[in-house]
């Protein structure tokens, strides 16, 4: 049975030694059908009119950092896949809570896109090119993570991700 409810509350939330909330996210990506062009998945903020972003949320005490990244991608964007090597760590200010957070971002090679997911009622998701996502993304630190992903994908042999993705991700229905 699949649970279709997002985690809520902060009783399991992790904080660093400076008291910053630890958040984890993913940049979901896939290859377009028929070519080697990369598309990334952005989602809308829960707050209307606040721009697009990548799935992210709190890293909780009962999960690994990669498990948290995968969970957030499932809850917010309705995708699952392979969480790859960390892109980096950023410190950023929460606009809503006026406090600093520490955020970690990972690439997520999408293996499955679900028709139903926990936050379907609150979020829109859109596949776009890396350059379009850079323009649409509301957070500078996420744009920097996207730049790191783009550089990593440019230097990686084309077969690396394809080998992980036996059933062509680009053929997943949208």
Give all domains of the chain, ordered by start, each with its CATH number. Answer: 21-158 (3.90.79.10)
- Band the pLDDT of 174: cuts 50, 70, 90: very low
Cβ(83)–Cβ(26) under 8 Å? yes
Distance CA 14, CA 19 (A): 9
Distance CA 2, CA 17 (A): 35
- Band the pLDDT of 48: cuts 50, 70, 90: low
Is the pLDDT assigned to residue 167 strictly greater than 50?
no
Average pLDDT over residues 33-58: 87
**CA nearest neighbour of 104 among 7, 11, 16, 165:** 16
Specify the 3-state DSSP secondary structure of 15. strand
pLDDT at position 59 = 96
Q: Which two tokens stand for residue 111?
A: 């293996």
pTM of the model: 0.83
Is the pLDDT assigned to residue 68 strictly greater than 80?
yes
Q: What is the largest CA-CA distance in the chain?
A: 48
- Band the pLDDT of 121: cuts 50, 70, 90: very high
- List strand residue ranges (DSSP E) for the chain, in order: 21-31, 38-44, 52-53, 56-58, 79-83, 88-93, 100-113, 125-129
Averaged pLDDT score across all residues of the chain: 86
pLDDT at position 165 = 45
- Band the pLDDT of 131: cuts 50, 70, 90: very high
Distance CA 28, CA 111 (A): 10
Is the pLDDT assigned to residue 170 strictly greater than 60?
no
- 15-38 pLDDT, tens digit per residue, is 999 999 999 999 999 998 777 899
Is the pLDDT assigned to residue 155 strictly greater than 50?
yes
Distance CA 91, CA 23 (A): 10
Cβ neighbours, 10 Å, residue 110: 25
Residue 75 C-alpha from the chain's centroid: 10
Is the pLDDT assigned to residue 47 strictly greater than 80?
no
Is the pLDDT assigned to residue 10 strictly greater than 70?
no
**CA nearest neighbour of 29 among 156, 150, 155, 141:** 150
Is the pLDDT assigned to residue 114 strictly greater than 50?
yes
**CA nearest neighbour of 29 among 135, 139, 106:** 106
Percent of the chain with pLDDT over 90: 69
Q: Which two tokens stand for residue 38?
A: 């990369």
């Amino acid at each position: 049975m699949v649970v279709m409810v997002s985690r809520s509350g902060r009783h399991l939330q992790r904080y660093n030694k400076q008291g910053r909330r630890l958040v984890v996210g993913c940049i979901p990506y896939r290859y377009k059908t028929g070519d080697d062009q990369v598309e990334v998945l952005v989602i809308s903020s829960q707050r209307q009119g606040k721009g697009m972003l990548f799935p992210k949320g709190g890293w909780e005490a009962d999960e690994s950092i990669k498990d948290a990244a995968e969970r957030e991608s499932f809850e917010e964007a309705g995708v699952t896949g392979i969480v790859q090597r960390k892109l980096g760590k950023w410190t950023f200010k929460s606009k809503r809570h006026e406090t600093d957070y520490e955020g970690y971002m990972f690439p997520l090679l999408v293996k499955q896109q679900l028709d139903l997911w926990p936050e379907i009622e609150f979020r829109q998701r859109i596949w776009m090119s890396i350059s379009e996502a850079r323009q649409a993304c509301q957070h500078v630190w996420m744009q920097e993570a996207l730049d790191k992903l783009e550089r990593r994908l440019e230097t990686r042999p084309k077969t690396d991700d394809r080998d992980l993705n036996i059933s062509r991700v680009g053929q997943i229905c949208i």
